[in-house]
Amino acid sequence: MGVLYNQIADRLQALIKDEVYRDGDRLPGVRVLSKQFGVSISTILQAHQTLEARGYLQPRERSGYFVRLPAVDAPEPVMQRHRNRPVPVTAREMALDLCADEQKRMVPLATAIPHADYLPLRQIQQSTLWAARRGLETLDYAFPGKESFRRQIAQRMASVGVPVTLDDVLATNGAQEAIILGLRAVTQPGDIVAVESPSFPGILQALEVVGLRALEIPTHPADGLSLEGLELALEQWPLKACVVVTNHSNPMGARMSDERKKQLVSMLAAAGVPLIEDDIYGDLYYAGERPRPAKAFDRTDNVIYCNSFSKTISPGLRLGWMLPGRYMSSARQQKYFSNLATASIPQLAVAHFLEQGGYDRYLRSARQHYRDATERMRAAVARSFPLGTAVSRPQGGFVLWVQLPEGCSGTRVYHRARAEHINVAPGLMFSISDKFESCLRLNGANPWSERIEQAIARLGALAHEEQAQSV
Ligand SMILES: Cc1ncc(COP(=O)(O)O)c(C=O)c1O
């Protein structure tokens, strides 16, 4: 059902884009549309609400629904091309401030964490209680991971084109640990690792803890890592690994096409450089089929695949997994040396939840929520921010990348907003240089409310003020 009303909303939106219905037109009544599309009236009403959330429709009392084109539709950011050199990573303490701030009940637009209302609380509570009653099974070191958990992972991986056995799966404390273990398995301190630019700060921090140098590769807001940029880097530097968030990346929301994933995998295989793939947002696609991971195109076992349930079930479970491929023995060793094993109860609970079969149903509604909330936020940014602001248009996940007009400081907007209890992530956090100083990342995974709407309007006003001061 959720999918159906979204499909109807997409079809109506396409009719609006093709100007079959123009700005100010009244849409046919719900009964007419219900006949036209062959769906129930309540599906049409839900589709209308979805389009209203996306900023395309306006209800008028007793008159029906009218087309209202978003007043301004912000363009998408452009890829920043720059020549980079490998540099040691030093953490930006801002990342810690952001997490601490969010716990102080600020408006939570900074961290990429889904609002608790969107998480499957009841199901995970029931499965955790079930798991806790398993007795002795919960008490041992679950190394390399509980069998039932690894079986569920193997089944899910097969469904995205990556057939593996239970022995190929290593349970981890989230995707963050998987990335660190992957890096430790294939590098030595001081080595150079290619990363996206902008990059998820956790990946930069992972490089820092392992003592690596980062080489930033320009990344396109829609297409992902620049393959031309990577090719140049491979010619110029002795890279030892490349870390990429292939589906709905953080912070840009980029998704590499299958073709580009294939090219990425084969380029790196030819150069003998392992790809560490982070697929944490892969299940959160807005439409169509689940995008495949690059691992599905890996013919030489050169891709170390990392994922977790932090963006889907809950970040607090601290439960992820990796498929280290031919680096398994080294990854296992690193895991064992750093914390022996991943806690048993979350693994048993998640395995139980997945076995019950409700997970895919839950994912369908979560994807819907994230899509609606993110599109609504995008429309609000386009309305409130200065002309010349660009906003990413993700096809999945829930973060928005906002590029302010030239001369407008995202860092200043961040500090001023923070003083007013609005928490956003400043662009500075996403690079080892200052090149994204004029950017902000917003978390769209919040139920829409007046508080969120006002916070976006206030951020827009602050950006206007900063822009005025910069000229
Ligand atoms: C791209 C990406 N990778 C990894 C992580 C960390 O995931 P986990 O909580 O599973 O360690 C995040 C969390 O924000 C993320 O956005």
Place of tokens 């248009």: 393
pLDDT grade for 1, boundaries at 50, 70 and 90: very low
Output the six-digit token pair for 358: 């409700």
Output the six-digit token pair for 189: 């301190």
Average pLDDT over residues 102-129: 90
Q: Are 372 and 399 in contact (CB under 8 A)?
A: no
User: Is 73 among the domain residues?
Assistant: no
Q: Are 195 and 249 in contact (CB under 8 A)?
A: no
CA 96 / ligand 1 centre spacing (Å): 14
Average pLDDT over residues 199-226: 96
CA distances from residue 140 to 128, 129, 144, 430 in whole angstroms, order as listed: 17, 18, 12, 39
pLDDT tens for residues 424-471?
999 999 999 989 999 999 999 999 999 999 999 999 999 999 998 877
Task: State which of 359, 385, 407 marks the end of a domain.
Answer: 359
196 and 219 assigned to the same domain: yes
Residue nearest atom 6 of ligand 1, based on CA coordinates:
176
Place of tokens 């005025």: 468
Give the whole-number percent of the chain exceeding pLDDT 90.
Answer: 78
Q: Is 315 in the pocket of ligand 1 (CB under 6 A)?
A: yes
pLDDT at 72: 64
pLDDT at 24: 83
Q: Which domain holds residue 229?
A: 120-359
Confidence check: pLDDT of 372 > 80: yes
205 and 317 assigned to the same domain: yes
CA dist 471 and 314 (Å) reads 45
Probe ligand 1: pick from 256, 306, 311, max atoms within 8 Å of CB? 311
User: Is 294 among the domain residues?
Assistant: yes
pLDDT at 112: 93
CA dist 212 and 327 (Å) reads 18
Phi, psi of 147 (to 5 degrees): -60, -45
Confidence check: pLDDT of 2 > 60: no
Q: Is 202 in the pocket of ligand 1 (CB under 6 A)?
A: yes
Average pLDDT over residues 206-222: 96
Q: How many domains does the chain have?
A: 3
CA dist 457 and 460 (Å) reads 5
279 and 137 assigned to the same domain: yes
166 and 280 assigned to the same domain: yes
Q: Is 253 in the pocket of ligand 1 (CB under 6 A)?
A: no
**Coil, strand or helix at 243:** strand
Confidence check: pLDDT of 25 > 60: yes
332 and 221 assigned to the same domain: yes
CA dist 181 and 173 (Å) reads 11
**Coil, strand or helix at 7:** helix
Say which residue, 303 or 104, is predicted with more confidence. Answer: 303
Confidence check: pLDDT of 102 > 80: no
pLDDT at 71: 62
Q: Are strands 425-426 and 439-443 parallel, antiparallel or unpaired?
A: antiparallel
Can you give the CATH number for the domain in which 23 is found?
Answer: 1.10.10.10
Residue nearest atom 1 of ligand 1, based on CA coordinates:
250
Amino acid at 250: N
pLDDT tens for residues 61-97?
778 898 887 666 788 888 877 767 887 776 566 666 7
Exposed / middle / buried, residue 116 (Cβ in 10 Å: 0-12, 13-18, 19+): exposed
Q: Is 430 in the pocket of ligand 1 (CB under 6 A)?
A: no
CA 313 / ligand 1 centre spacing (Å): 13
Q: Is 199 in the pocket of ligand 1 (CB under 6 A)?
A: no
